[in-house]
C-alpha cells in the first residue's frame, strides 16, 4: 500500500494543532484510520517529521540456503506435487513448517513453477503425505 501524501499528512497536523478537534474526528474528516492519525501525531511529536518512514531492513527469508536446496530437490523429485504436499514434504525433511504461500514465494524466487491440473485425486495424495 502506498504511503499517504505529505500534503495530507501536513493538513492533519495543521488541523490538530489548531485545536478543538479530537483524533477520532480528524480520522473521520480526512477519511483515514484512527491508528494512522495517532501514528502521524506521535511521529511528529517525537521527530518533528511527518514524512513516511523508509523501510531499511528487509524481513529475513524463512528458509536458509540448505533448506532451499532441500526444497529444490523435493520439487524436482515430485514435480506433480501441490504446494500443500511440498510443504509437508519439506517439514518431514527439515523440520521447518512454512505456509503454502511461503512455499509459493520461495519457488518463485528460485524460478520454479508448480502449475497443476485440478483433480480430486490430489486430496487423497495429500492425506498420504501427512501420515
95 backbone dihedrals φ, ψ, rounded to 5°:
80, 5
Distances (CA, A) of 63 to 10, 27, 59, 92: 41, 40, 12, 14
∠ CA(37), CA(38), CA(44), 5° rounding? 90
State residue 11's pLDDT score: 94
Per-residue confidence in pLDDT tens, the chain, 131 aa: 688 899 999 999 999 999 889 999 999 999 999 999 999 999 999 999 999 888 777 777 788 888 888 888 988 888 788 888 888 998 898 888 888 888 888 888 888 776 655 555 555 666 666 65
Q: Which distant-in-sequence residues (6+ apart) come within 8 Å of 116 by Cβ? A: 80, 82, 122
Q: Any idea where the domains of the chain sit in the sequence? A: 6-47, 65-130
Contact, 50 vs 6, CB < 8 A?
yes
Local structure of 64: helix, strand or coil: coil
Count Cα neighbours of 27 within 13 Å in the Cβ-side half-sphere.
13
Q: What pTM was estimated for this model as a whole? A: 0.47
Amino acid at each position: 500500500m502506498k504511503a499517504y501524501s505529505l500534503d495530507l499528512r501536513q493538513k492533519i497536523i495543521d488541523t490538530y494543532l489548531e485545536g478543538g478537534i479530537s483524533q477520532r474526528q480528524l480520522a473521520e474528516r480526512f477519511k483515514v484510520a484512527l491508528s494512522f492519525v495517532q501514528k502521524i501525531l506521535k511521529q511528529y511529536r517525537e521527530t518533528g517529521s511527518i514524512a513516511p518512514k523508509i523501510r531499511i531492513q528487509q524481513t529475513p527469508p524463512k528458509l536458509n540456503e540448505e533448506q532451499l536446496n532441500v526444497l529444490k530437490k523435493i520439487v524436482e523429485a515430485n514435480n506433480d506435487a501441490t504446494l500443500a504436499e511440498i510443504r509437508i514434504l519439506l517439514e518431514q525433511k527439515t523440520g521447518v513448517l512454512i505456509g503454502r504461500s511461503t512455499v509459493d514465494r520461495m519457488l518463485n524466487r528460485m524460478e520454479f513453477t508448480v502449475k497443476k491440473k485440478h483433480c480430486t485425486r490430489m486430496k487423497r495424495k495429500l492425506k498420504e503425505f501427512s501420515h
